[in-house]
Each structure stands twice: as structure tokens, then as C-alpha cells.
């Protein structure tokens, strides 16, 4: 299979168009964000199934919950930084507490809006959403996983928060695989160290594993596409096998993937775990690529830190 670099949000639109044509109850709602979410084609092909609420993220969530109460299957797309912060009360009460079938799509997540700075970074969304009962938290790694994830979401009746990045992502998967919400995927086997990643950092972890092979270091790579439900058993098995673990995420070092891994390993002994993410500070301004490199989340930096842990 030829590797491609396609933005996950583009694949989301393609899947939603197909699913919505087959099921008129599927609706897409946006907060003046159809362009950012790559949903312009959906609006053209299915204008009666798209609702534009304007820059009103709290209304977006509450309207979606009301539609779900009436039997519709809404997908609400808005920038992750605003959806997970401005609307968190509505997410907690109207969607999760009420257990309504709303799929909340946080677009341009992490540092995708890099040059716009801290106001547009969503580096706390995993922490807050994974602490809310009844709410799944999902992050696809590439276009292939995005397709499978949104096909599963279209058939699911469970509330979910899904984070998507803004930029094209190089393929992580080389062949078809069985996707299941809540089940981690081993991308590469290894014996010396385990790299656990989520979302766009999966590609970085795989790149790091390739670089480590040049140093005769064998790295297992585990993709956590479901932060909630979380596959604790897969994490434990991988960690116990290698005894060294690095978790990497496009998120604050607090409350995200690293915290979930630490929670899973809290009763185990003899395992070293290093959390790599963004520090507890206002980040520098720059592109995603620049920020990943500066803060040590790119493949080369991960390989260097993993090699140090092994040696």
C-alpha cells in the first residue's frame, strides 16, 4: 500500500456523507466551522442535514442533545479548543449526564492551530473529557483509522468526544485491521521498550521505532485510539514485557494519555514510565512541526529519549 498524507477531517467528511445518505437521521452541526472541519462537501450534497449555529459552541452542544433526544444522530463539529472548554458544562450535563447520542468532534486539536497560540491550543481536552461519565474519548491516528472510527460512530448509540488534527497525516497502517472502540492496536512488536501513543503522535512513535532499529533497540509501538474506554490490559501486557515505557501525546503532561497509562500501571512493580507531552506552561508560538520538535515529541527526539532509557 502506498503511504499517503491526508488530513483526518477530510476522511471524516467522506464517511459522514456516505452514512448520512443511508440514514436521514444523521445530522451534522457546525459552529461557523464547516470550512475548518472540511465539511463543505457535506453541506453541498446534504444541505437539509446540516445545521449551522454560528459561533455559539454552547448552543451547538445543547441543540445537538435536543436533536438526539428526538431520535436524531447528531455529529457536532467545532474547534477542539472551544468545544472542550467553552461548552464543557453542556457536554457534562446535556450530553453525558443525560446520556444522549451526540458525537462531539473537536477539530484542529492539540497544537494544530500552532501559530495562533495558547488561546487556540487544546491541550487539556483529554483531561477534562475522560473525567466525565458516559463519554467516550477517541483519537484516530491516520486516515485509515479515521474511516473505521467514524463508521463505528455512525452505528454507535454512545456519546463520544473525538479529537481530530488539522494537518495531513502520513499513513500509519499498512494493511486492513480489526477496529474496535476500546481496544488498543499494536503497530509494531518489540522487546526493549514500549512506545505508547495516541492520535498524530502514533506516526512519531513509529518513526522513532525505525530510528531505534538502527541502534539495535527493539521498540514495541502501541496505538491508543480510545482514551476512554481505555485498554488497560494491553498497556499492562506491553509494559510487563519490556519493563520500560514511554507515553507520548499532543496534550499537557497532566491528565491525558500519560496519566491513563500511569493509572493502569500503578499496581505493577519494576516498570519505568516516562510521560512525554507538552509542559505545564504557555507554549511557544510556531507550526505543529516546530512545536513537536522543540518540546521533544517528534520521532528523532523520541528515539533519543528511548535510547537513553534503554542504555
Mean pLDDT of 105-131: 93
Beta strands in the chain (DSSP E): 5-7, 26-30, 50-52, 73-79, 103-107, 136-138, 160-163, 168-170, 185-188, 193-197, 219-223, 226-228, 244-252, 272-278
Same-domain status, 157 and 219 = no
The answer to whether residue 179 is domain-embedded is no
Same-domain status, 25 and 157 = yes
- Which residue among 139, 170, 201 closes a domain? 170
CATH number reported for the structural domain that contains residue 247 in this entry = 3.40.50.920
The answer to whether residue 108 is domain-embedded is yes
Half-sphere exposure of 26 (CA within 13 A, CB side): 21
57 flagged as catalytic: yes
The answer to whether residue 177 is domain-embedded is no
Residue pLDDT, tens place only, 67-76: 999 999 999 9
Residue pLDDT, tens place only, 165-207: 988 889 999 888 999 999 999 999 999 999 999 999 999 999 9
The answer to whether residue 166 is domain-embedded is yes
Phi, psi of 2 (to 5 degrees): -75, 130
Mean pLDDT of 143-147: 95
Active-site entry in 14, 57, 178, 289: 57
Same-domain status, 254 and 289 = yes
| Residue of 249, 247, 300, 296 lying closest to 274 (CA atoms) | 247
Domain count, the chain: 2
Q: How do the residues of the chain divide into helix, strand and coil, expressed in percent and rounded to 5?
A: 40, 20, 40
The answer to whether residue 264 is domain-embedded is yes
Which residues, other chains included, contact 212 with Cβ-Cβ below 8 Å and sequence gap of 6+?
Answer: 192, 193, 218, 219, 303, 306, 307
Residue 113 contacts residue 121 (beta carbons within 8 Å): yes
The 3-state secondary structure of 188-206 reads: ECCCCEEEEECCCHHHHHH
Same-domain status, 237 and 206 = yes
**Does 272 have pLDDT greater than 60?**
yes
- Which residue among 143, 170, 197 closes a domain? 170
Question: Where does the pLDDT of residue 233 fall: very low under 50, low under 70, confident under 90, or very high at 90 and above?
Answer: very high
Same-domain status, 223 and 82 = no
Same-domain status, 202 and 165 = no
The answer to whether residue 265 is domain-embedded is yes
Same-domain status, 18 and 135 = yes
Burial class of 247 by CB neighbour count within 10 A (0 to 12, 13 to 18, 19+): buried
Say what the pTM is: 0.95
Same-domain status, 216 and 244 = yes
The answer to whether residue 279 is domain-embedded is yes
∠ CA 139-145-150, nearest 5°, is 75
The answer to whether residue 178 is domain-embedded is no
Q: DSSP states of 151-167 as a string? A: HHHHH--S-EEEE--SS
- Which residue among 141, 170, 199 closes a domain? 170
Containing structural domain, residue 34: 5-170
Same-domain status, 286 and 235 = yes
Specify which residues 52 forms β-bridges with: 30
Same-domain status, 163 and 201 = no
Same-domain status, 88 and 208 = no
Residue pLDDT, tens place only, 236-249: 999 999 999 999 99
**Does 5 have pLDDT greater than 80?**
no
CATH number reported for the structural domain that contains residue 19 in this entry = 3.40.50.970
Same-domain status, 113 and 218 = no
Amino acid at each position: 500500500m502506498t503511504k499517503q498524507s491526508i488530513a483526518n477531517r477530510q476522511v471524516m467528511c467522506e464517511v459522514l456523507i456516505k452514512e448520512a445518505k443511508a440514514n436521514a437521521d444523521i445530522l451534522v452541526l457546525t459552529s461557523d466551522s464547516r470550512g475548518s472541519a472540511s465539511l463543505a462537501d457535506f453541506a453541498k450534497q446534504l444541505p437539509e442535514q446540516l445545521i449551522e449555529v454560528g459561533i455559539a459552541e454552547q448552543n451547538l452542544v445543547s441543540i445537538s442533545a435536543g436533536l438526539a433526544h428526538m431520535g436524531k444522530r447528531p455529529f457536532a463539529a467545532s474547534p477542539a479548543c472551544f468545544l472542550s472548554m467553552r461548552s464543557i458544562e453542556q457536554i457534562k450535563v446535556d450530553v453525558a449526564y443525560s446520556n444522549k447520542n451526540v458525537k462531539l468532534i473537536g477539530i484542529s486539536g492539540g497544537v494544530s492551530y500552532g501559530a495562533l497560540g495558547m488561546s487556540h491550543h487544546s491541550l487539556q481536552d483529554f483531561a477534562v473529557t475522560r473525567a466525565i461519565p458516559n463519554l467516550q474519548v477517541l483519537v484516530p491516528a491516520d486516515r485509515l483509522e479515521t474511516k473505521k472510527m467514524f463508521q463505528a460512530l455512525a452505528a454507535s448509540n454512545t456519546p463520544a468526544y473525538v479529537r481530530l488534527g488539522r494537518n495531513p497525516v502520513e499513513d500509519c497502517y499498512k494493511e486492513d485491521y480489526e477496529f474496535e472502540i476500546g481496544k488498543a492496536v499494536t503497530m509494531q512488536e518489540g522487546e526493549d521498550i514500549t512506545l505508547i501513543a495516541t492520535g498524530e503522535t502514533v506516526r512519531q512513535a513509529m518513526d522513532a521505532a525505525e530510528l531505534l532499529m538502527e541502534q539495535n533497540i527493539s521498540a514495541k509501538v502501541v496505538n491508543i485510539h480510545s482514551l476512554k474506554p481505555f485498554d488497560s490490559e494491553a498497556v499492562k501486557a506491553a509494559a510487563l514485557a519490556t519493563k520500560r515505557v514511554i507515553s507520548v501525546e499532543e496534550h499537557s503532561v497532566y491528565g491525558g494519555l500519560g496519566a491513563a497509562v500511569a493509572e493502569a500501571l500503578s499496581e505493577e512493580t519494576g516498570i519505568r514510565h516516562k510521560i512525554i507531552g507538552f509542559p505545564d506552561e504557555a507554549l511557544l508560538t510556531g507550526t505543529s512541526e516546530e512545536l513537536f520538535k522543540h518540546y521533544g515529541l517528534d520521532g528523532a527526539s523520541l528515539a533519543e529519549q528511548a535510547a537513553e532509557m534503554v542504555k
